[in-house]
């Protein structure tokens, strides 16, 4: 029975693949035209990218010319496309039916790691908006402790949202300032928060007197976007193919990531990475 179930699953997947024999990618060209296979005269990098995706997805990959990113978003939303590169402005009108899956990390930049804002457990401030006009402390001076978290907050509030911003030497010092009442909230990346709160034993609660009131990431400048109704298997395969592309197919990677200068690698991202604050 187990062997039969395995073969039945393979058969069902094969049938689904046959129904979706093509994968359609938006190309912003200034005008809309029918989807088509790449011509032999297409740029070598684009040919390498399409061939790499076709081989890994098991589908023919087609180019679909569109006038601009907004047109790509509308076509994606309607089901006329399967994938497009979009920015926040073009994503906003179609965010209910589309989702981000990948961004590109430039050389020398940090990953878009989660950022947390924490207050004392007894604080009446329970959201980021409740901290407007309050005081905060960052958990260090390094880029991952200050630059990236500050960018994540700036995307949501902009300059002047907080009355004062302090920078501590380390997470422990920042937490001490919060506990003493010197500031209203602590801003820290998720990895540093885990290290700060992790005790020697599973039952230890080093941050039991604190609470997280907000979690977010810096907003992405651009992202690869697909429809929200895409099959999970195809979405995961797309992510896997792109994440390894800078190692497996450099020419394909150079073309596929060319929308970000000095690209280092693709990285998976959350569905709402492009959502405006």
Domains, the chain: 2-109+220-268 (3.40.190.10), 115-216 (3.40.190.10)
User: Is 94:233 a contact under the CB 8 Å cutoff?
Assistant: no
pLDDT in tens, 198-216: 866 666 678 999 999 999 8
The two beta strands, 98-106 and 263-268, are antiparallel
pLDDT at 8 over 60: no
Tokens 């005008």: give the residue. 31
pLDDT in tens, 67-123: 999 999 999 999 999 999 999 999 999 999 999 999 999 998 888 889 999 999 999
Q: How far apart are the first and last CA of the chain?
A: 52
Q: How many CB atoms lie within 10 A of CB 209?
A: 12
Q: What is the pLDDT of residue 202?
A: 64
Mean pLDDT across 5-17: 37
pLDDT in tens, 34-70: 999 999 999 999 999 999 999 999 999 999 999 999 9
The residues facing 267 across adjacent strands are 103
pLDDT at 146 over 60: yes
Q: What is the pLDDT of residue 200?
A: 64
pLDDT confidence of 277, banded at 50, 70, 90? low
| Percent of residues in the chain assigned helix, strand, coil, to nearest 5 | 40, 25, 40
Mean pLDDT across 183-202: 88
Q: Which two tokens stand for residue 191?
A: 């990895």
| Nearest-angstrom CA–CA distance, 109 and 246 | 16
Q: What is the pLDDT of residue 87?
A: 96
Category of 160 on φ-ψ map: left (φ > 0), alpha (ψ -120 to 50) or beta: left
What is the dihedral angle through the alpha carbons of 27, 31, 34, 40, rounded to the nearest 10 degrees? -60
Mean pLDDT of the chain: 89
Sort 123 into a burial class: Cβ within 10 Å, 0-12 / 13-18 / 19+: middle
pLDDT in tens, 218-274: 899 999 999 999 999 999 999 999 999 999 999 999 999 999 999 999 999 999 999
Residue 149: half-sphere exposure toward Cβ, Cα within 13 Å: 28
Q: Which two tokens stand for residue 166?
A: 């302090």
Q: What is the pLDDT of residue 7?
A: 33
């Amino acid at each position: 029975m187990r062997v039969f179930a395995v073969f039945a699953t393979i058969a069902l997947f094969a049938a689904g693949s046959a129904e979706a024999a093509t994968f359609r990618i938006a190309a912003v060209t200034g005008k809309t035209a029918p989807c088509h296979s790449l011509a032999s005269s297409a740029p070598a990098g684009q040919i390498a990218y399409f061939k790499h995706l076709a081989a890994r997805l098991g589908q023919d990959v087609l180019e679909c010319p569109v006038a601009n990113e907004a047109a790509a978003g509308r076509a994606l939303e309607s089901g006329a496309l399967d994938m497009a590169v979009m920015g926040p402005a073009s994503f906003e009108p179609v965010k209910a039916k589309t989702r981000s899956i990948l961004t590109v990390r430039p050389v020398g930049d940090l990953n878009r790691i989660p950022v947390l804002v924490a207050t004392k457990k007894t604080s009446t401030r329970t959201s980021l908006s409740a901290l407007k006009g309050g005081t905060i402390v960052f958990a260090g001076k390094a880029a991952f402790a200050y630059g990236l978290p500050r960018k994540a907050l700036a995307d949501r509030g902009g300059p002047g949202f907080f009355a004062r911003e302090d920078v501590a030497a380390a997470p422990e010092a920042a937490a001490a300032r919060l506990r003493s009442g010197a500031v209203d909230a602590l801003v820290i990346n998720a990895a540093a928060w885990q290290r700060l709160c992790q005790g020697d034993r599973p039952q230890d609660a080093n941050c039991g007197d604190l609470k997280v009131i907000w979690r977010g990431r810096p907003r992405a400048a651009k992202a690869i976007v697909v429809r929200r109704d895409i099959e999970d298997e195809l979405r995961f395969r797309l992510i896997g193919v792109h994440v390894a592309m800078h190692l497996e197919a450099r020419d394909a990677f150079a073309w596929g990531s060319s929308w970000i200068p000095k690209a280092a690698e693709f990285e998976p991202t959350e569905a709402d990475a492009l959502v405006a604050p």
